[in-house]
Amino acid sequence: MRELSYQVHERCGCAMRVTHGLPCACQIHDSLVAGTGLYIRQIHPFWRTLVIGSGDGGTVPGNDLTEDAAHFRYLMEEVFDSDPAVLRNVSRIIEEELHPDHSNLREPAVNHRVRGRPRNNDTRRDRSYFEHVNRQHTERGARQTGDVNDISQSRYRHMLPGPMLPYITGWKDVIGDGNCGFRCVVEFFFGDQGRWYDARETIANEVLGYRALYERIYGLGRLEINVQRIRWDGGAVDSRHWMVAIQDLFPIATWFNAAVIILGVGQTPTCYYPCLTILPLRARRGVTAPEREFVIATVGASHFICIELAPDSPLPPVAGWWTEHHDPSVDGWDRRYEARRNMWDALIR
């Protein structure tokens, strides 16, 4: 199957891996393309410990630690070649893993003991009085100045880029159950964060529908892994199924034909990551521009909230992955944001 190139994924069937616990043709192909080689952990223990004959001089399992180190070095090389926002994001993750005492940011706990609230058996959290007021304002199509969603009243205020605070006209928190990123998506586009599983399925279908396009975003051979991460409908979840910024924002921007703006800050308020603007990677026939602007923010390193920006607000840089990998159908879409991009550059100097 060596001559099949990428088509090996369609012809392989993965029988060798499923029935014998040995790397199949498509796994070998991906390792050759990526230049990473194969790992002992990809071989079933039966073959690693098989002894033929008297048992003298039996095989000794290889050292996974050495292979892990080589794999980590390869990943670091890949990170250095990635979008600058990815480099900053990975650096932050590694720093938090090695030095957890350096950051006191934690996801806020949900207060389940609120006086004056009716009890029921609904698994979804009841809206607070403030959220009822906000929903009523939204349904009427009018937002009053200084309402309960004023950013000055947000507990996340210090986790947002300081220069952007004057342009933030409102914010919306969602339930922090591991699905918060996807809850933000359906809260904005459908007005119901309870439909987070619809967002997951929609995004997964978009990725699978344009494999060649999204392999440039998620990485060669990593599409199925990410689709499995995105597809989840079992309720609260750990980090294995969280939204991944920046990658997951590309199918969101593309499917909903929206400019997606993500805001956040690093360990210090002057570290603006992963502040980026993500545009659709492709356009449907007759579509010439994004129809909406969806703003999402990372807070506390593990939680997402919805943000509302004033019209014509400054916009962070357009993601480098969009510049490199977008379809010709969206050529020039970034130019319509040049003035707002210049505002951002002047703002953060």
pLDDT at residue 23 tops 50: yes
Please give the distance of CA 200 from its chain centroid, rounded to a whole number: 11
pLDDT at residue 123 tops 60: no
Computed over every residue of the chain, the mean pLDDT equals 79
What percent of the chain has a predicted confidence (pLDDT) above 70?
74
Q: Quick count: other Cβ atoms within 10 Å of Cβ 193?
A: 23
Q: Which range is most confident: 22-31, 66-75, 142-151, 161-170?
A: 161-170
For residue 44, give both structure tokens.
């079933």
Mean pLDDT for 239-243 is 90
- Residues 127-140 have pLDDT tens digits of 443 444 344 444 33
Q: DSSP alpha helices (H): ranges in the chain?
A: 8-11, 15-20, 25-34, 45-49, 64-80, 84-98, 129-139, 180-189, 196-209, 211-218, 223-230, 249-255, 320-325, 338-347
pLDDT at position 8, please?
A: 72
pLDDT at residue 316 tops 80: yes
Please give the distance of CA 306 from its chain centroid, rounded to a whole number: 15
- Residues 45-104 have pLDDT tens digits of 778 777 776 655 544 444 556 667 777 787 787 777 777 767 777 777 777 667 655 444
pLDDT at position 128, please?
A: 46
pLDDT at position 29, please?
A: 78
pLDDT at position 286, please?
A: 92
Q: Which range is most confident: 148-157, 229-238, 259-268, 310-319?
A: 310-319
Mean pLDDT for 205-232 is 93
For residue 295, give both structure tokens.
């703003």
Q: Residue 44: pLDDT band by 50, 70, 90 thresholds?
A: confident
Whether residue 334 contacts residue 194, with contact meaning beta carbons closer than 8 Å, is answered with no
Domain layout of the chain by residue ranges: 2-49+64-81, 149-347
pLDDT at position 100, please?
A: 57
- 63 or 13, which is more confident? 13
- 81 or 324, which is more confident? 324
pLDDT at position 172, please?
A: 92
Q: Residue 116: pLDDT band by 50, 70, 90 thresholds?
A: very low
Q: Residue 38: pLDDT band by 50, 70, 90 thresholds?
A: confident
Topology given in CATH for the domain delimited by 149-347: Cathepsin B; Chain A (3.90.70)
Closest by Cα among 204, 250, 197 to 229: 204
* Integer Cα distance of 81 and 86 in angstroms: 10
Within 13 A of 48's CA, how many CA atoms are on the CB side?
14
Q: Which amino acid is at 257?
A: N
Beta strands 168-172 and 276-278, pairing class: unpaired
- Residues 268-295 have pLDDT tens digits of 666 787 899 999 999 999 999 999 999 9
How far is CA 66 from each of CA 39, 72, 73, 94, 192, rounded to the nearest angstrom?
A: 10, 10, 11, 20, 48
Query: Residue 92 — φ and ψ, nearest 5°?
Result: -65, -40
Mean pLDDT for 247-256 is 96
How far is CA 172 from each of CA 18, 55, 140, 164, rounded to the nearest angstrom?
A: 45, 65, 17, 16
- Residues 172-188 have pLDDT tens digits of 999 989 999 999 999 99
